[in-house]
Amino acid sequence: MQNKGLIKLFALVFGLVCIYQLSFTFIAGSAEDKAKAFAKQKISEEVENYSSLREQEETRYLDSIGNESIFAGITYNTAKEKELNKGLDLKGGINVILQISVKDILRELSNHSKNPAFNQALANADETQKSSQDDYVEIFFSEFDKIADARLASPDIFANKTLSDDIAYDMTNEQVKPVIRRRIDESITSAFEVLRKRIDKFGVTQPNIQRLGNSGRILVELPGAKDVDRVKGLLQSTAQLEFWHVFKGQELIPFLSQANDRLKSILKPEAKKTADSKTTEEEDIDDLLADTEEEETQGENPIFDLLVAPGNQGGPVIATFALKDTAKMNTYLRMPQVRSLLPAEQKYAKFAWGLVPEGSETVELYALKANKNNEPDLSGSVITDARQTYTPVGGVAVSMEMNGKGAKKWEEMTTVAYNNQSQIAIVLDNTVYSAPGLSKGPISGGRSEITGQFTVTEGQDLANVLRAGKLPASADIVQSEIVGPSLGQEAIDSGMMSFMIALALVLVWMIFYYGRAGVYADIALAVNILFIFGILAGLGAVLTLPGIAGIVLTIGMSVDANVLIFERIKEELAKGKAQVDAIRDGFRNALSSILDANITTGLTGIILLVFGTGPIKGFATTLLIGICTSLFTAIFITRMFIDKYGKNGKSLDFSTAATKNLFKNVNINFIGKRKIAYIFSGVLIVVSLASLTLNGLNQGVDFVGGRTYTVRFDQAVNATEIENQLAEVFGSVEAKTFGAANQLKITTKYKVDEEGTAVDNEISEKLFKSLTEYLPSGITYSQFSAGGEDAKVGVMSSMKVGPTIADDIKKASIFAVIGSLIVVFLYILFRFRKWQFSLGAVAAVFHDVLIILGIFSLTYSFMPFNMEIDQAFIAAILTVVGYSLNDTVVVFDRIREYFNDHQGRKFDKTINAALNSTISRTLNTSLTTLLVLLAIFIFGGESIRGFMFALIVGVIVGTYSSLFIATPVMYDTAKKNSEDLLKKKETETAEEDIA
């Protein structure tokens, strides 16, 4: 090996750099451990809100030492910025994909056009998108073009004042479309920047926000974030700030009285009508009232029966109602028969609810002085700065500053309010935060203040969203994953346990099988692990549970390179070569197989990186890094130790007494047994296809949409009993034991098409009420849904995937699998120059994938662990593809070598000899990998058990297929050509003898 000194220097320097990068993780972790110990000592576990108070003490401690040197001038704050990032599944936190509403942007660009063609196209686009993967704007354009004589450049659509610089009245639809596309892209970019500014001020470490293509989707990852409702509010709030003049509450009392009487006359006859005779409007009313528990008393006093308290004399509050009755009141107040009772000066009144204080069950009703266009007197676009402050009596407030235009209008509004002794409502996203009066005269200079019954955190968030600006359109959470920190810690514990056990098994096996050479391989493996973690830390990559699985799998696969090398050295030694020559030739001859095997695995890893999301990217990242580092350590680090030991003539055995004669003189007729293999595999494939047709697969929410909750109880529960009980509430629901007997994974498609925080909360509350009898007495809804760090029961994690994004995920997964097969086919064709080799490899891969799918289809109903087909399963399939190809390429490489060295030998004998010569390597690598996978399967945590099961099946089937499918298919398609070549060779030899 040339340039040994340079390689040693590189390995040493790179190792030190990796240790330096990882030191930040150890320093940050040490400081956080001290913070936890400090908080635990200071806060008694008996106090109420123990978790919250302890977290505050930890934060206070870390803030106090943040800039103090801990080691070699490194502070906690510096270390925290550079530590190895942990993903949501390890650290807990929130991962959401937001869909910016392109429909809202189109409406805004059209100035909320009332044009029938425009609105019809929007309605049609809504329906079409449910079954289409195209961008919403393209669907809209397609639907608009179907409407006869419809023009995008109409004055009442896009040829308006707002777009007058870009769109002229005489432009065609095709000329308008690029302008609209550009404007939509600008709006989504604006939304991205608004969200980024909000998140930057949120206070979590290492947040991640990125646009997902041109779909209008934005990925937001907040590791360590624990307050789910706060995050949702921060992300989905459009920050539509408005200032309205408001009616005095007492002015609306006559209207409420008349509305109450009118509703009596409407609802009494309604109750008597049959369903068949109802009008559409009456059916809507009945549907909205159907869920109430007071159906028998409806019509007595529909409004006054709901009233909790009247408003204060002279104040802006009309009345106070129970929070649960707001939907019913909204229904009443929207009814045309009720709104017609408003007097002329109030006919445009806009009803709005006040901010609900934390823990309150009631809410106040206001009436804003709107106009026929429903436009506010002043919008929040004039705000230039906002910050959380305090009132003179210590209450929380948000202070705002306006630009010149806003300051002038604000002074006019406050002058009117002061002169009339009325109030101005400050409304954010249709919620009245406060409606103060003015006792000291008009306000000049553009300064104002929002006060209300909110906490410091709520005040900070409000200031944050106002300062960042409003979203140009609504943002719906179409996919979310929430992992509680306690579940994350369990994942770390189980992941590290599986990692250490797998590592120990591999280290012991290599020493057992290869003796001293195995020790050198183990040292190279330890260096490899250091390099992997060091590179991950240096790149700022995120370590996930699948990522740990990728590292552990890399451990199993990385020994393959050493196994290949050692087996080739043993072959060279068996030929009678000197040890030095055998080592040199062994490394050289193994290099081709090592490179081919790792390149094919790497190609599937790249495809996984491109098409995967979240944790799957983490798996692909660690797999790719592991492939690169294992190549370096196996080829160079192991070689350095072996050369150093043998340079003084010391004898180095590449086996032990127990393994010295294993697999010697093996002579299996693989080609002769190929028909038996074809029949066996054919039966397996037919059974798999039959099961896939009849049973199908247990598709996860990734692929079909829905919501899933991991719920932990304080004692073992019956999954079937709970599933039946939940089915009465949700209809479509599935409950399965997830890990321990006291933990369930509950999946439902209830209201899967509906988006918004209100729907999420509704489902969560219904889940809590349905499970109350199985939970400890006294547990509240907030405790159940929080899943805090010390939570022993409740929702430990949750996930939501909308149906549209589920279709996209499924489509991307199919592309990933097909793409990997095409890429591998082309690579093997390029590498081996014969299409028969590519066909054999792809046939084996198809065989492996079908059998894995068949086993999952046959067994998912009774296996004691999760066997859903989701993104993680696709990652497993692609990993199996890579592994199977790895094995197949090594076999093909040896066949090519034997074919070149023994051109006069019959084709089938050449192939059999090649396969028998690789049997030691094949079984050794497979056994090592299986040991690793079994360690992860048993100790690695419930969330990746199905993933590991797929890999275990894949390794077994992949090892079999490389010997009994890939090679026989290649042989059967290439044997005629090889026989012709052999006959030609024999003829040429005979002619030469005659001559």
Mean pLDDT of 907-922: 84
Q: Residue 990 pLDDT > 50, yes or no?
A: no
Under 8 Å between Cβ of 417 and 436: no
Q: Position 453: which residue type?
A: Q
Q: Compare 794 and 173 and report the one with higher pLDDT.
A: 173
Distance between CA atoms of residues 257 and 304, nearest Å: 8
Tell me the average pLDDT of the chain.
Answer: 79
Distance between CA atoms of residues 732 and 723, nearest Å: 10
The pLDDT confidence band at residue 205, using thresholds 50, 70 and 90, is low
Q: Compare 52 and 851 and report the one with higher pLDDT.
A: 851
pLDDT at 807: 66
Pick from 717, 731, 737: nearest CA to 763: 731
pLDDT at 593: 79
Give 816-834 pLDDT, tens digit per residue: 777 777 887 788 788 777 8
Q: Give how far Cα 25 sits from Cα of 20, 32, 526, 621, 793, Å.
A: 10, 11, 19, 19, 31
Give 401-423 pLDDT, tens digit per residue: 888 888 888 888 889 888 888 88
CA 93 to chain centre: 11
Helices (H), 421-469: 456-468
- In CATH terms, 706-798 corresponds, of 1.25.40, 3.30.160, 3.40.50, 3.30.70, to 3.30.70
Structure token digits, residue 352? 């709005």
Q: Is CATH 3.40.50.10210 the classification given to domain 241-251+309-323+348-470? A: no
Under 8 Å between Cβ of 953 and 849: no
**Cα dihedral value 970, 973, 977, 983, nearest 10:** 80
Q: CATH homologous superfamily for 515-695+807-989?
A: Multidrug efflux transporter AcrB transmembrane domain (1.20.1640.10)
pLDDT at 552: 67
Mean pLDDT is lowest, of 88-102, 425-439, 558-572, 797-811, for 797-811
Pick from 530, 420, 545, 567: nearest CA to 491: 545
Structure token digits, residue 550? 């990728």
pLDDT at 835: 83
Q: Can you tell me whether residue 540 is helix, strand or coil?
A: coil
Could you tell me the residue ranges of all domains in the chain? 4-83, 97-236, 241-251+309-323+348-470, 515-695+807-989, 706-798
Mean pLDDT of 644-657: 79
Mean pLDDT is lowest, of 183-187, 274-278, 741-745, 908-912, for 274-278
Q: Residue 361 pLDDT > 50, yes or no?
A: yes
Give 790-815 pLDDT, tens digit per residue: 457 777 777 777 655 556 666 766 77
Q: Residue 271 pLDDT > 50, yes or no?
A: no
Query: Residue holding tokens 């798996």?
Result: 619
Give 502-517 pLDDT, tens digit per residue: 788 888 888 998 888 9
Name the CA radius of gyration of the chain, rounded. 35
For every residue of 41-109, DSSP letters joined together read HHS-TTSTTHHHHHHHHHHHHHHHHTTSEEETTEEHHHHHHHSPEE-HHHH-EEEEEEEE-HHHHHHHH
Mean pLDDT of 302-311: 87
Show the 3-state SS of 722-756.
HHHHHHHHHCCEEEEECCCCCEEEEEECCCCCCCC
Give 455-489 pLDDT, tens digit per residue: 776 777 677 666 656 666 777 777 667 666 555 56
Q: Position 417: which residue type?
A: A
Distance between CA atoms of residues 949 and 300, nearest Å: 62
Q: Position 986: which residue type?
A: E
Q: Residue 285 pLDDT > 70, yes or no?
A: no
Structure token digits, residue 257? 């009285």
Pick from 721, 805, 798: nearest CA to 763: 798
Q: Residue 276 pLDDT > 90, yes or no?
A: no
The pLDDT confidence band at residue 89, using thresholds 50, 70 and 90, is low
Q: Give how far Cα 507 sits from Cα of 511, 594, 937, Å.
A: 6, 20, 19
Q: Between vectors from CA 635 to CA 632 and to CA 640, what angle results, nearest 5°? A: 105
Give 926-960 pLDDT, tens digit per residue: 888 888 788 878 876 666 777 788 888 888 998 89
Query: Residue holding tokens 């692929």?
Result: 703
Q: Residue 167 pLDDT > 60, yes or no?
A: yes
Distance between CA atoms of residues 915 and 670, nearest Å: 8
> Would you tell me how many other CB atoms lie within 10 Å of the CB of residue 229?
13
Give 747-771 pLDDT, tens digit per residue: 887 776 666 666 777 788 888 888 8
Structure token digits, residue 458? 């709520």
Under 8 Å between Cβ of 85 and 223: yes
Query: Residue holding tokens 């002061």?
Result: 418
Give 320-360 pLDDT, tens digit per residue: 998 888 888 888 888 888 889 999 888 889 999 988 876 67
Helix and strand tally (H, E) in the chain? 32, 23
Query: HSE of 665 in the Cβ direction (CA atoms, 13 Å)?
Result: 2
Under 8 Å between Cβ of 659 and 512: yes
Mean pLDDT is lowest, of 238-247, 546-555, 626-635, 907-916, for 546-555
